[in-house]
């Protein structure tokens, strides 16, 4: 049953109940091409989940079209929320808060999610939580595996490739980042060059399963160098050069699989090498022994295995969330909301969606400085 604005007495009763059994938060995710809602309880139970993937809407264009994404979120979000709430067997009055991704992401979609969450919060007198999408990924290991702080995080998604020391909620220190492409972007571009279409990551992984990873010698940029930064553009260019040297016409199945496998294994070597340096720094500086991998690319089985081996060789444990919680989802948003609510944090209803929203303070400061220079203020 869905509670209505008039159910104030019922709301008060249910609040008392949920205070006993643990906080319950509705999470909303609309920052890219998944329209998702989930209901999560503070004891880490996911009570309800619904996700609409907009793949077929964007596939004809070979990538996510922001305007189409925003409209699709608008069309499908109410239904996803209704389904997640029904699966949980709860009404809005049973909630302790409403969380939505407040950025970073495609602004049209973020606005849809944030406005919806604010409306529910206002109508039901609930706290509103604007969640940083990257923090959602970063804290997933606490939802799935109860990971304790501090841990080292490898965040690998369509727009990000970073190594961060996670010290607590809202407390991130960056150890390394990509100097060019994000790793998910490299998967997506490689898929496009191979004619594997969109979305690229899962398609490359599937093709790589039946390929020979030793057939094409590909570079491993940054490997063996000190530091924890990444680079993928040289790898992407090398894939393109190999493809250009192939006989004209469609790429045969064997070559396609071998190229995908050679690319994937190179990415694995790069991630493992950078993580080894980061683990050394992390152990010395923070004393933690856990490496967490998060973000869409963390769904890749080969990379999970490779990172597991790297972690073991450094005497660290790897936590890799289940595949469906690596790619974009609303359970991670609800969970990040719970984490903030437990600390007494919530956001005002005039929160403005943020297309860019770095996790670490250094990145924010660096960007503010470069913007000031562009504006002629500095
Ligand atoms: O976290 P995510 O779902 O969305 C962003 O916040 O960016 O990550 C999407 C990225 C895409 O680049 C996609 O190709 C990649 O994650 N990805 C994968 C796999 N599944 C998704 N990359 C490699 N292997 C996969 N199985
Ligand atoms: Zn994401």
For residues 171 and 131, state if they share a domain: no
Is there a single domain that holds both residue 200 and residue 262?
yes
185/315 same-domain check: yes
In a domain, 373, yes or no: no
Burial (0-12, 13-18, 19+ Cβ within 10 Å), 365: exposed
How many angstroms separate the alpha carbon of residue 328 from the centre of ligand 2?
5
Range of the domain at 61: 2-143+326-364
Residue 201 near ligand 1, beta carbon < 6 Å: yes
Q: Is 91's C-beta closer than 6 angstroms to any atom of ligand 1?
A: no
159 and 294 belong to one structural domain = yes
Ligand 1 centre and the CA of 139: distance in Å? 17
Q: Which residue CA neighbors atom 10 of ligand 1 most closely?
A: 158
Q: Which ligand is nearest to the CA of 260?
A: 1
Look at residues 145, 154, 316 and name the one whose alpha carbon lies nearest to residue 308: 316
pTM for the model = 0.90
Kindly state whether residue 91 falls inside one of the protein's structural domains: yes
- C-alpha to C-alpha distances, 138 to 44, 153, 156, 175, 316, nearest whole angstrom: 15, 7, 10, 15, 18
For residues 187 and 61, membership in a common domain is answered with no
Does residue 296 line the site of ligand 1, with CB under 6 A?
yes
Our answer on whether the CB atom of 151 is closer than 6 Å to any ligand 1 atom is no
Q: Is the CB of residue 101 below 6 angstroms from any atom belonging to ligand 1?
A: no
Q: Does 104 lie in the same domain as 224? A: no
Are residues 342 and 281 part of one domain? no
- What is the distance between the alpha carbons of residues 184 and 162, in angstroms, rounded to a whole number? 12
Could you identify the residue written with the tokens 């496009």? 192
- Count how many domains the chain has: 2
Instruction: Say how many CA atoms lie within 13 Å of 111 toward its Cβ.
Output: 9
Same domain, 152 and 280: yes
CATH number at residue 281: 3.30.420.40
Q: Are residues 298 and 278 in the same domain?
A: yes
The per-residue pLDDT string of the chain (378 residues; one tens digit each, 9 = 90 and over) reads 333 333 333 444 444 444 445 999 999 999 999 999 999 999 999 999 999 999 889 988 888 999 999 999 999 999 999 999 999 999 999 999 999 999 999 999 999 999 999 999 999 999 999 999 999 999 999 999 999 999 999 999 999 999 999 999 999 999 999 999 999 999 999 999 999 988 899 999 999 999 999 999 999 999 999 999 999 999 999 999 999 999 998 999 999 999 999 999 999 999 999 999 999 999 999 999 999 999 999 999 999 999 999 999 999 999 999 999 999 999 999 999 999 999 999 999 999 999 999 998 776 555 455 444 433 332
| 326 CA closest ligand 1 atom index | 1
Mutate to test the pocket of ligand 1, among 132, 193, 297, 300 (most ligand atoms within 8 A of CB): 297
Same domain, 154 and 293: yes
| 245 belongs to a structural domain | yes
175 vs 130: CA distance, rounded Å: 25
Q: Is 331 in the pocket of ligand 1 (CB under 6 A)?
A: no
Answer whether 202 contacts ligand 1 (Cβ < 6 A).
yes
Task: Return d(Cα 178, Cα 30) in angstroms, integer.
Answer: 25
């Amino acid at each position: 049953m869905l509670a209505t604005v008039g159910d104030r007495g019922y709301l008060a009763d249910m609040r008392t109940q949920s205070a006993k059994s643990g906080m319950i938060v509705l999470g909303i995710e609309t920052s890219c091409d998944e329209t998702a809602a989930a209901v999560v309880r503070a004891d880490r139970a996911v009570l309800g989940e619904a996700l609409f993937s907009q793949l077929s809407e964007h596939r004809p264009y070979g990538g996510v079209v922001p305007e189409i994404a925003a409209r699709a979120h608008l069309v499908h979000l109410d239904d996803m929320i209704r389904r997640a709430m029904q699966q949980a067997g709860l009404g809005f009055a049973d909630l302790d808060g409403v969380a939505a991704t407040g950025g970073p992401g495609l602004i049209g979609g973020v606005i849809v999610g944030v406005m919806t969450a604010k409306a529910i919060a206002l109508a039901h007198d609930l706290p509103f939580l604007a969640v940083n999408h990257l923090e959602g990924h970063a804290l997933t290991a606490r939802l799935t595996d109860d990971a304790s702080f501090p841990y080292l995080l490898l965040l690998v998604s369509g727009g990000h490739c970073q190594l961060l020391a996670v010290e607590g909620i809202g407390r991130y220190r960056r150890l390394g980042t990509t100097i060019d492409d994000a790793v998910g972007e490299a998967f997506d571009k490689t898929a496009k060059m191979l004619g594997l279409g969109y979305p690229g990551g899962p398609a490359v992984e599937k093709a790589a399963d039946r390929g020979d990873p030793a057939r094409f010698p590909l570079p491993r940029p940054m490997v063996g160098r000190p530091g924890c930064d990444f680079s993928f553009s040289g790898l992407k260019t090398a894939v393109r050069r190999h493809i250009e040297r192939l006989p004209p016409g469609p790429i045969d199945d064997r070559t396609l699989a071998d190229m995908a496998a050679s690319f994937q294994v190179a990415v694995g070597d790069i991630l493992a090498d950078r993580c080894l340096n980061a683990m050394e720094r992390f152990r010395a500086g923070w004393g933690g022994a856990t490496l967490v991998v998060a973000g869409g690319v963390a769904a890749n089985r080969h990379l999970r295995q490779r990172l597991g081996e790297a972690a073991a060789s450094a005497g660290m444990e790897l936590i890799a969330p289940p595949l469906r919680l690596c790619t974009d989802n609303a359970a991670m948003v609800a969970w990040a909301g719970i984490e903030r609510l437990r600390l007494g944090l919530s956001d005002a209803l005039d929160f403005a969606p943020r297309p860019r929203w770095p996790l670490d303070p250094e990145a924010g400061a660096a960007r503010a400085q470069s913007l000031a220079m562009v504006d002629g203020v500095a």
